[in-house]
Amino acid sequence: MPALAQANADVEKNIADPKNWAMQAGDMYNQRYSKLKQINTTNVGKLQVAWTFSTGVLRGHEGSPLVIGDTMYLHSPFPNKVFAMDLNTQKIKWKYEPKQDPAVIPQMCCDTVNRGLAYAEGKVFLQQADSMLVALDANTGKVVWSVKNGDPKLGAVNTNAPHVFKDKVITGISGGEWGVRGFINAYDINSGKQVWKAYSVGPDAEMLIDPDKTMTWTDGKMAPVGKDSSLKTWQGDQWKIGGGTTWGWYSYDKATNLMYYGSGNPSTWNPAQRPGDNKWSMTIFARDVDTGQAKWVYQMTPYDEWDFDGINEMILADINVKGQPRKALVHFDRNGFGYTLDRVTGELLVAEKYDPKVNWATHVDMKTGRPQVVKRYSTAANGPDVNTKGVCPAALGSKDQQPASFDPNTKLFYVPTNHVCMDYEPFKVEYTAGQPYVGATLSMYPAPGSHGGLGNYITWDAGTGKIVQSKAEKFSVWSGSLNTAGGLSCYGTLEGYLKCVDAKNITKELFKFKTPSGIIGNVFTYEHKGKQYLGVFSGIGGWAGIGMAAGLEKDTDGLGAVGGYRELNQYTELGGSLTIFTLPN
C-alpha cells in the first residue's frame, strides 16, 4: 500500500485541539471554523473585554495572533515585532524586533501590513517585510535561522504569513506593482535550506510546470497545458517583469499532498503594454508540496485589465455541488466571481457573481472558463489615456485578502466583501528596477444604485453559486471572519466594531463592540483554563485604510483608495492593539 501523505504532525496535533489557534486560518483547509461553543448565540451578547494589548505600532494590523497551549504569539506591521505572551500572567515572555532598513516602507504598495506568524516544532516563523524569512525559538525568541527570500531594492518585499506544510515552510512574494516576477518558495523548517522555488510566469522549468502532466480546464474538460503555456501568452520579454505575485493565503490537503494558492495581477496596470493572456498570473495553482510540481492550474482573469489580483484564499471543503458530493476548493476572487472547483482534478464546477453589482463581465463561460468581458468596461478596448468609468468591482475587488470562513453545520461560506466601483485610466509607463510600475490612475466610490455603503457581509452557497443572505455595512468588511460551533459568525468593521451574528441568520446582530481603531485583522478564538476567549487586532490601514495609515490626501492616492474611503477618518483613528473578549464569571 502507498504510504499516506502526512501533514506536519506537530501542526496537526495543535490544530486538532480546539483550545489552540495554531494556524492563521485555524486549520490547513482555511476554513476559519472553531469547535469551541462556550460562547454561543444565547450568551454572546454578554461578552466583556478580558484584556487588551498595544503592539506599539500605528499601521494596518492584518492577520491574527497564534495560541499554542499557554502562550500567545503576536505580530505587528513593519518593523514586524513578535511578542510571546504567557496567558497565565499576561507577561511578555520575549520580544523580537528585527532591525530592518526603513527604505523598505516606500517599496510596499498598500501599507506596511504583515499577515501573521506560523508555528511548528518549537519554532515561530516570521516573514519580514524586507523579505527575510526568520525561524525563532518559540521558548526564547532567539533566531534559529534566517534566509533572504527576495530583493527589496527591486520591490520584492513581503506581507504574507508563512505556512508550514509537512517539513517545509512556504512563503510567497509581494511587489506586482514594481514589476516583480512572482514565485512561491519552500524552505526546510529545520535548516532554512531552499527545497524548491516555483515562478508564476515564464519558462515551464522555472514554473515547475510539466507541459504533458500539468492540467487545466479546456473546452469543458481537463487537458494538459502544453509546451510554453506561459511564454506564448506574453509579448517578448515582458514576462520577466510580469507580476503574478503570491502574497495571499495557502491551504493544504494531505489526501492529495497538494497545496493551493493564487497568483496576482500581471505588471503593469496598463494592458496595452502586455497583450496576451499573461499566463499564469491570476491563476489558482495546485502544487505537490514535496516537489513544487504543478498538478493543475486555472486562470480566472486572462489578460487582466483591472488589477483583479487572484491571491485570495482557497477554502477546502467537502460539499454537495449541484447535488453531487465533491471534494471542493472554493475561492472568492477579486474579480467578483465565486469559484467552486474540484480540488483533486481541477475541474471548474461553479463560477457566479457574489456581488450583484459586478458588471465588467456578464458571466464565466463554463466551457472555456473565461469571463465574458463587457466592452464598455474593457480598459484595453478603450485604450490608454481613456478614463473607463463605472467598473464594478474596483481594483481592490469584491473581496481583497480578508479571508472568508466555512461553517460545516450550515454548509455555507461567510464572506466579508467590498461593494465598491471605480474609474480606471491606464497610461504608458517605463519599467525602472525598484520603482513603481503601475501605469493607471483610479478613483473609487460605493456601488451606485445600491445601499449607499461600501461593504456587505454575505453567506454563500458554493454548491449552487448563490448569495443566501446579505448584510449591508457602511464600509468594506476588511476583516477575516470566524465561525464557531456556538452558532456564531464574527467579523470586524473598518469603523472598529467587532460584530457577532447568528450563523443561521446573519441579519441578526447579537454582539457589537467598538475597539480602539478600525479592524482589518482576522477574528480568532481559543480556550484557556476552561474559558473561551474571542479576539481581534484593531489598527486601521491596509489598502482601504492607506490614506489614514500613510497620511495621504489626494483622492487618487493609494491607487484610488484615499477618495473612496475619505469618510473613514470621521469614525476611527490610528491604533495598534489586540482586544480579547470573554464571558463574565
Give catalytic residue positions.
Answer: 307
Q: Is 579 annotated as a binding residue?
A: no
Q: Which of 564, 296, 521 has its CA nearest to residue 418?
A: 564
Q: Which three cell numbers stand for residue 351?
A: 463560477
Write out the H or E segment, with its range, that includes residue 199: strand 194-199
Q: Is 265 annotated as a binding residue?
A: yes
Find the radius of gyration of the CA atoms of the chain.
Answer: 22
Count of other CB atoms within 10 angstroms of residue 222: 16
- Between CA 190 and CA 188 the distance in angstroms is 6
432: CB partners within 8 A, 6+ apart: none
214: CB partners within 8 A, 6+ apart: 224, 225, 229, 293, 294, 295, 296, 297
Which residue matches cell numbers 472568508? 404
Amino acid at 525: T
- For residue 282, give the DSSP letter: S
Count of other CB atoms within 10 angstroms of residue 89: 9
Q: Is 177 annotated as a binding residue?
A: yes
> Please, are residues 105 and 38 in contact by the beta-carbon 8 Å criterion?
no
SS3 for 21? strand
- Between CA 553 and CA 565 the distance in angstroms is 11
Q: Which of 257, 341, 241 has its CA nearest to residue 300?
A: 341
Q: Measuring CA to CA, how many Å separate 296 from each of 185, 202, 222, 304, 464?
A: 18, 16, 9, 20, 23
- For residue 391, give the DSSP letter: E
Q: Report the chain's terminal Cα–Cα distance, integer Å.
A: 53
SS3 for 462? coil
279: CB partners within 8 A, 6+ apart: 201, 229, 230, 232, 233, 299, 302
Which residue matches cell numbers 496595452? 272
- Between CA 556 and CA 442 the distance in angstroms is 6
Q: Measuring CA to CA, how many Å separate 366 from each of 302, 349, 468?
A: 14, 8, 22
Q: Which of 547, 554, 557, 537 has its CA nearest to residue 480?
A: 537
Exposure letters 330-342 (e unless 16+ CB within 10 A, then b): bbbbbbbbbbbbb
- Between CA 133 and CA 150 the distance in angstroms is 10
Q: Is 509 annotated as a binding residue?
A: no
Q: Is 59 annotated as a binding residue?
A: no
Q: Is 233 annotated as a binding residue?
A: no
Q: Is 527 annotated as a binding residue?
A: no
β-pairing verdict for 420-426 and 412-418? unpaired
- Between CA 432 and CA 429 the distance in angstroms is 9
Q: Binding site for pyrroloquinoline quinone: residue ranges?
A: 62, 115, 159, 245
Q: Binding site: residue ranges?
A: 62, 115, 159, 177, 245, 265, 307
Q: Binding site for Ca(2+): residue ranges?
A: 177, 265, 307
